[in-house]
């Protein structure tokens, strides 16, 4: 697709893109109010200070070179994949690109991927903090304190793995914590030529049931362990992308009444019902500081992904081809934040450049605002 075609596609769906951006900003603001004092509340609000204190710290307005969409730069990012919709999008997009490379490398080397999911019995009366603590304890029993896994991974030719922690909520059953695990296996022993054993869910079930019981969780039935064979996984990749299942939790919609955390945030923002703020807060404080994705040792090196980057590093990173078209000084940025006019500014810049920016600023100046006094009129124009 040429650059002109990308621009045409972007403009064709510009109305949808603008509505989506407004919705994302509304969700972000809702989360900030639900979690006051947390880093997410200041994400993309605080300016990164300049090294030279004589220079005024400014916000950059940039445009993507291909899509011509506008965005702010030189702002601090919270790096929370759990709470911030913007950081989650940025982080998981990079994780997705990694998974695409992994998929292609598997095809190149003849490795076979399997998707395994672990879950357990639960009910709506149980607290998320108790469920998560017991679930993580069960995983420790299952993977580290039991000889089963240490021996079984040799029989299936396990080369590497990726583990992703997720949670959903439903009115009927409450919190549902589960783990997706991508098992990347060799088909046969290169030394002996013997084929490895194909992973089967029933092989994992009894050890997982035992681990759940020892950790104080509800012991699952046969639904507690599911494994998708490599044929089904390849079909899944071709339709939706295995990498999306593993990394794009923030984009997943609730299925059959099960809601992801960002579903809860979206519904909370739309309905203003206190229940959803309470649920999102409970979720955040339980998952805060935990890693969503864990990779096996040497994973990045084996698949040529380079040095592993933390969520914060990915959130701070700027890889999109863009150009700076202007700057926003402190007074104007305070005005924009007070009126929560970020998306209006971006839309105006996309339509009319910096002329559109100053048109919006002039409108905001006429509105009551404590930052209005002392502002420099048409600075930088």
Q: What is the pLDDT of residues 349-372, one digit of tens each?
A: 999 999 999 999 999 998 876 544
| pLDDT at residue 255, rounded to an integer | 57
Condensed to tens digits (0 to 9), the pLDDT of residues 279-316 reads 999 999 999 999 999 999 999 999 999 999 999 999 99
What are the φ and ψ backbone dihedral angles of 223, each rounded to 5 degrees? -75, -10
Q: Report in angstroms the alpha-carbon separations of 186 from 190, 300, 336, 357.
A: 9, 17, 55, 56
Domain boundaries, the chain: 111-299
* Dist CA 200 CA 141 (whole Å): 20
This prediction has a pTM of 0.85
What are the φ and ψ backbone dihedral angles of 127, each rounded to 5 degrees? -75, 145
Q: Which residues pair with 324 in a beta bridge?
A: 62
159 or 52, which is more confident? 159
Instruction: With cut-offs at 50, 70 and 90, classify the pLDDT of residue 236.
Output: very low
């Amino acid at each position: 697709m040429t650059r002109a075609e990308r621009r045409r596609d972007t403009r064709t769906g510009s109305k949808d893109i603008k509505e989506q951006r407004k919705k994302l900003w509304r969700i972000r603001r809702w989360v900030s109010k639900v979690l006051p004092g947390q880093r997410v509340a200041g994400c993309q609000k605080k300016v990164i200070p300049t090294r030279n204190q004589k220079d005024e710290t400014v916000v950059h307005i940039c445009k993507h070179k291909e899509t011509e969409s506008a965005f702010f730069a030189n702002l601090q990012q919270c790096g929370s994949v759990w709470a911030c919709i913007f950081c989650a999008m940025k982080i998981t997009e990079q994780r997705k690109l990694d998974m695409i490379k992994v998929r292609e490398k598997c095809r190149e080397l003849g490795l076979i991927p399997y998707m395994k999911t672990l879950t357990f019995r639960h009910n709506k009366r149980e607290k998320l903090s108790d469920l998560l603590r017991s679930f993580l304890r069960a995983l420790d029993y299952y993977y580290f304190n039991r000889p089963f896994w240490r021996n079984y991974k040799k029989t299936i030719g396990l080369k590497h793995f990726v583990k992703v922690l997720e949670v959903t909520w439903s009115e009927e059953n409450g919190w549902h914590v589960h783990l997706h695990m991508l098992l990347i296996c060799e088909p046969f022993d290169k030394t002996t030529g013997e084929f490895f054993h194909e992973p089967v869910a029933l092989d994992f079930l009894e050890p997982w049931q035992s681990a759940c019981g020892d950790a104080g969780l509800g012991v699952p039935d046969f639904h507690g362990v599911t494994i998708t064979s490599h044929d089904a996984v390849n079909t899944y990749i071709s339709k939706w992308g295995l990498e999306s299942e593993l990394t794009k939790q923030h984009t997943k919609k609730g299925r059959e009444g099960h809601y992801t955390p960002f579903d809860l945030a979206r519904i909370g923002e739309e309905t203003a019902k206190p229940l959803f703020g309470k649920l999102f807060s409970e979720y955040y404080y339980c998952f805060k500081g935990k890693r969503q994705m864990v990779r096996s040792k040497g994973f990045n090196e084996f698949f040529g992904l380079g040095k592993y980057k933390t969520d914060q590093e990915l959130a701070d990173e700027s890889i999109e081809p863009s150009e700076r078209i202007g700057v926003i000084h402190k007074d104007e940025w305070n005005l924009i934040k007070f009126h929560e006019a970020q998306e209006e500014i971006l839309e105006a810049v996309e339509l009319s450049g910096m002329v559109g920016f100053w048109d919006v600023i002039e409108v905001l100046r006429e509105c009551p605002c404590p930052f209005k006094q002392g502002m420099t009129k048409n600075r930088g124009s």
